[in-house]
Structure 1
Amino acid sequence: MPQKKQLSEKETIELLDILQQRFEKNKSRHENLDWTKIEEKLNLNPSKLWSLYQMENSGGEPDVVDYDEKTDEYIFFDCSAESPKGRRSFCYDREALDARKEHKPQNDVITATKEMGIELLSEEQYRYLQSLGKFDLKTSSWIKTPKDIRELGGALFCDRRYNTVFVYHNGADSYYAARAFRGVLKI
């Protein structure tokens, strides 16, 4: 049976309160945006609220980081200081997960993002996130990997060390307790 992708009224109220508090606490991420307009749009999109709830419950601390005037979309990123705790120890994709003979992780990043209704941050988006603050000082986050790298068995991840954002590679089947992924949701 497909999972219901709608929150209860109580869950909706609680999530909107959390998001509003985070929005107001971190004004530097969205100086010219108005919470009232964002909340209106969220209330019109229950499936997107459900996705934000998944981001929040897995430790992502989603927040508005931008507004796209062309598409009239607010952009939410996972803004937790470290890579979300509830999404760590995943390999990159299902192909990598299935290729592991033993010690398989519980899930993979690409499947998890689809289940949550979000997308994986790209390198450009990750660098933009890092322009808003200092993230992943002790952890790392998988990012979208170009097809040609993935076809050769690799996958990309990023972190911030020495006040610099680094992009690295790993085998797509690898997974670590200090690596998760960050998502983006457009509403």
Structure 2
Amino acid sequence: MTKSNKRELSPEQREELLKALKSRFDENMHRHEDFEWDHIQEKLEANTEKLWSLHEMEETGGEPDVVAYDEVNDEYIFYDCSAESPKGRRSVCYDREALESRKKHKPENSAIDMATAMGIELLTEEQYRQLQELEEFDLKTSSWVQTPAHIRKLGGAIFCDRRYDTVFMYHNGAESYYAARGFRGSLRV
């Protein structure tokens, strides 16, 4: 993640990001068959903070791409579409409370704190399953997903992955972290 208090990209960063997003959009039309890039780019250029968040998603290995459109709110929805859980967001526990509860071998960060700092949200289990309908993701890794409050209150957190041509949802202690577990995010623009 870029270390900066300013949520703005330089003109060069902006141009490079838009070029990468358009290229990914064009190469993966099965994710958004009825969408037009020009409309998406207009919305991105009008919202520099969202563009900054997409840059953070890109910089941490998420490969964000448009996967849906919310007609009611006139928003395009981006998800991390990297084949595996984003490399720059792995080895993190679930949230700040879990991080602080560890006495030894604390991870550097938590999924919730990182997502908040990036201006994105963790995918829900439902969103994760929708993403898996587009293509196969997390065949070797796993991703934390938003955990219902009643589970989190009891010390747990949930994560998902895809194995044996099936999407699984599992549980772990929220303080757990693994080199192969990160998180996927969503952003509305």
Fold shared, TM-score > 0.5 on shorter chain: yes
CA distance in 2, matches of 1:85, 1:11: 21
CA distance in 2, matches of 1:180, 1:158: 10
Q: Which residue matches 1:123?
A: 125
SS of the equivalent of 2:117 reads helix
Residue 59 of structure 1 deviates from its aligned partner by: 0.2
Aligned residue identity for 2:182: A
Q: Which residue matches 1:24?
A: 26
SS of the equivalent of 1:135 reads coil
- Give runs of aligned pairs for residues 143-182 of structure 1, distance below 5 A: 143-182=145-184
SS of the equivalent of 1:160 reads strand
CA distance in 1, matches of 2:144, 2:116: 15
CA RMSD in angstroms comes to 0.6
SS of the equivalent of 1:6 reads coil
Residue 97 of structure 1 deviates from its aligned partner by: 0.2
Is 1:5 matched with 2:12? no
Residue 184 of structure 1 deviates from its aligned partner by: 0.1
CA distance in 2, matches of 1:91, 1:123: 17
Is 1:101 matched with 2:95? no
After superposition, the C-alpha distances for 1:51-76 in whole angstroms (9 at most, x for unaligned) are 00000000000000010101100000
- Work out the number of aligned pairs and report it: 186
Residue 20 of structure 1 deviates from its aligned partner by: 0.1
Aligned residue identity for 2:30: S
SS of the equivalent of 1:149 reads helix
Q: Which residue matches 2:57?
A: 55
CA distance in 1, matches of 2:158, 2:140: 17
Q: Which residue matches 2:90?
A: 88
Aligned residue identity for 1:135: F
Residue 166 of structure 1 deviates from its aligned partner by: 0.1
SS of the equivalent of 2:144 reads strand
Percentage of identical aligned residues: 65
Q: Show structure 1 runs of 5+ residues with no match.
A: none
- Pick one of 64, 77, 80 that aligns with 1:78: 80
CA distance in 2, matches of 1:123, 1:158: 7
Q: Show structure 2 runs of 5+ residues with no match.
A: none
After superposition, the C-alpha distances for 1:92-142 in whole angstroms (9 at most, x for unaligned) are 000000000010000001110100000000000000000000000000000
CA distance in 2, matches of 1:66, 1:22: 15
CA distance in 1, matches of 2:134, 2:73: 22
